[in-house]
Amino acid sequence: MQTKVVKFGGSSLADAQHFRQVADIIKADPARRFVVPSAPGKRHKNDTKVTDMLYHCYEMIRNHENIDAFYEEIAERYNSIIRELGMNFDMSGELAYVKNAMLHASGRDYAASRGEYLNGIILAKYLGFDFVDAENVIFFRDNGSFDEERTNEVLADELRRHKNAVIPGFYGCMPNGTIKTFSRGGSDITGAIVARAVEADLYENWTDVSGFMMGDPRLLDNPPPIDTITYQELRELSYMGATVLHDESIFPVRYAGIPINIRNTNAPADKGTMIVSSAETYDTKRVITGLAGKKGFSVINIEKDRMNAEIGFGRRVLEILEDNGVSFEHLPSGIDTMSIVVATSALEGRRERILQSITRQVKADHVEILDGLCLIAVVGRGMVKARGTAARIFDAIYNAGVNIRMIDQGSSELNIIIGVNEEDYEKALVAIFNEFVK
Ligand code: ADP
Ligand code: ASP
Ligand code: MG
């Protein structure tokens, strides 16, 4: 029999009605043996995700505020699900335990992780599946990085003993026994880790859209869905802000060659998007697979005459960034200029030090940091074969009256990255979309 791992996002588990839909989906296919839930998400546009409520609760405790009333609201998110599902199950003991642990300085990650922990307990009960706490099977190393080998060994061994199980997403355990979470949206990663451990035939990722669209549906007019996308293309897009799937969730499944299927909990008949290791064909008419963008970047511009002839120049500059704990995104460079694109947030508190170090250590003629850059990634495995793609992109942006501040084409010709001013983001995105898709 096939084995499928199914991950359900926050909006798919936001209330009792969604729990019913989720149970119907799981019960419709006996291959759906392992389930990874997120914490309850938004029930409507102005609602708050339980994860955000838990972060807030943690801050309240730090500020010595009384959390009784606010914690009641969190508890009610779960109690209302239990009540409306008509379950004979009392969660008050668990809820009191969690509150008490939060009050006794168990940490920010512990607080956040309880969103999926509590949801997982309810979902396991509702489905009649075993509950396997991620704390006992997902491990991090002392330096905070994910320990894939230890996790895979322990998790595979544990899940062999279960016909069906619910494993809460988003968190795991540090060597000292404390709880640590992945970054936001990290339940996608847990789903991929579980899929690898059970050698699943398919990792289904259920969310609130019918697959990956060519662009962000909140910014573009009816972007068409993508049928098939490669892991590599998807990583480029999700890293650049297409939040459907956490960009880190590719690694565990790619390693094992397990395809991912993005599906819509609210429209389970839609076939969604298949994410595969390689695809022979591409849409010859559209050429590009998708586009995504992200704000919040800065450029460090360095000018120095005859920079190109100076051996070790680039290394010394990058060493300065390394010493300051800053990683870079792109390095578009000329003969006498070097530009380094970094996340603006990474420069916080280090700007002056970095500027001074570069000026002093590499004797640059001029160094400056410019903020307010937005990066747009145009991604497509077909771009390498279709001539003139870059020209079409630049023309479209130019005709929209937008100034291009940076261009970077990956050597694999899988993507072209364009930097524009943040205020031009939507305009540039729409212009590229209209050129290729409309
Ligand atoms: P979940 O809670 O199920 O993990 P997310 O909110 O993390 O769901 O991801 C789904 C959302 O991603 C969609 O509701 C949509 O608004 C947004 N999104 C951004 N870019 C895209 C895209 N290219 N295609 C589809 N959805 C996108
Ligand atoms: N609940 C967590 C978050 O909101 C993890 C997730 O949903 O994947 O980020
Ligand atoms: Mg998500």
- Same domain for 272 and 297? no
- Same domain for 223 and 361? no
Evaluate whether residue 219 is within a structural domain: yes
Provide the token pair at 12.
Answer: 């798919």
The reply to whether ligand 2 has any atom less than 6 angstroms from the CB of 169 is yes
Query: Which pLDDT does position 438 carry in this prediction?
Result: 80
CA of 413 to the centre of ligand 2 (A): 32
The residue from 276, 298, 318 where one domain ends is 276
Strand partners, 181: 171
Evaluate whether residue 425 is within a structural domain: yes
CA of 64 to the centre of ligand 1 (A): 36
Contact yes or no for 165/127 (Cβ under 8 A):
no
Distance CA(140)–CA(159), nearest Å, equals: 19
Evaluate whether residue 346 is within a structural domain: yes
In ligand 1, the atom with minimum distance to the C-alpha of 215 is 23
What is the distance, to the nearest Å, from the Cα of residue 229 to the centroid of all Cα atoms in its chain? 17
Domain count, the chain: 2
Taking the CA of 169 as reference, the closest ligand is 2
Residue with tokens 């905070």: 144
- Same domain for 40 and 169? yes
Distance CA(225)–CA(219), nearest Å, equals: 15
Q: Find the domain containing 344 and state its range.
A: 290-436
SS3 88: coil
CATH number of the domain to which 397 belongs: 3.30.2130.10
- Same domain for 265 and 318? no
CA of 427 to the centre of ligand 1 (A): 21
Evaluate whether residue 282 is within a structural domain: no
Evaluate whether residue 285 is within a structural domain: no
Query: Which pLDDT does position 409 carry in this prediction?
Result: 84
CB atoms within 10 A of CB 221: 11
The reply to whether ligand 1 has any atom less than 6 angstroms from the CB of 147 is no
Distance CA(339)–CA(337), nearest Å, equals: 7
Task: Work out the end-to-end distance of the chain between its first and last CA atoms, rounded to an integer number of angstroms.
Answer: 43
Query: Which pLDDT does position 90 carry in this prediction?
Result: 96
The reply to whether ligand 1 has any atom less than 6 angstroms from the CB of 40 is no
The reply to whether ligand 2 has any atom less than 6 angstroms from the CB of 49 is yes
The reply to whether ligand 1 has any atom less than 6 angstroms from the CB of 266 is no
Query: Which pLDDT does position 384 carry in this prediction?
Result: 83
Provide the token pair at 18.
Answer: 């969604």
Evaluate whether residue 34 is within a structural domain: yes
Angle at 187 between CA 293 and CA 111, to 5 degrees: 110
Provide the token pair at 62.
Answer: 């730090």
Contact yes or no for 172/134 (Cβ under 8 A):
yes
Tens-digit pLDDT string for the chain (438 aa):
899 999 999 999 999 999 999 999 999 999 999 999 999 999 999 999 999 999 999 999 999 999 999 999 999 999 999 999 999 999 999 999 999 999 997 899 999 999 999 999 999 999 999 999 999 999 999 999 999 999 999 999 999 999 999 999 999 999 999 999 999 999 999 999 999 999 999 999 999 999 999 999 999 999 999 999 999 999 899 889 888 999 899 999 998 899 999 999 999 999 999 999 888 777 777 889 999 999 999 999 999 998 888 899 999 999 999 999 999 998 888 888 999 999 999 999 999 999 999 999 989 999 999 999 999 999 998 888 888 899 999 999 999 999 999 888 877 788 999 999 999 999 999 999 999 988
- Same domain for 55 and 164? yes
The reply to whether ligand 1 has any atom less than 6 angstroms from the CB of 41 is yes
CATH number of the domain to which 11 belongs: 3.40.1160.10
Evaluate whether residue 348 is within a structural domain: yes
Evaluate whether residue 283 is within a structural domain: no
Instruction: Considering only CA atoms, give the Rg of the chain.
Output: 24
- Same domain for 316 and 255? no
- Same domain for 323 and 429? yes
- Same domain for 312 and 264? no
- Same domain for 270 and 357? no
Provide the whole-model pTM: 0.88
SS3 125: helix
Query: Which pLDDT does position 386 carry in this prediction?
Result: 83
- Same domain for 313 and 266? no
Nearest to 345 by CA among 327, 368, 323: 327
Taking the CA of 215 as reference, the closest ligand is 1
Query: Which pLDDT does position 310 carry in this prediction?
Result: 87
- Same domain for 262 and 297? no
Query: Which pLDDT does position 294 carry in this prediction?
Result: 95
In ligand 1, the atom with minimum distance to the C-alpha of 187 is 4
The reply to whether ligand 1 has any atom less than 6 angstroms from the CB of 242 is yes
CA of 403 to the centre of ligand 2 (A): 36
Contact yes or no for 406/333 (Cβ under 8 A):
no
Nearest to 60 by CA among 108, 119, 117: 108
Residue 315 makes CB contacts below 8 A (sequence gap 6+) with none
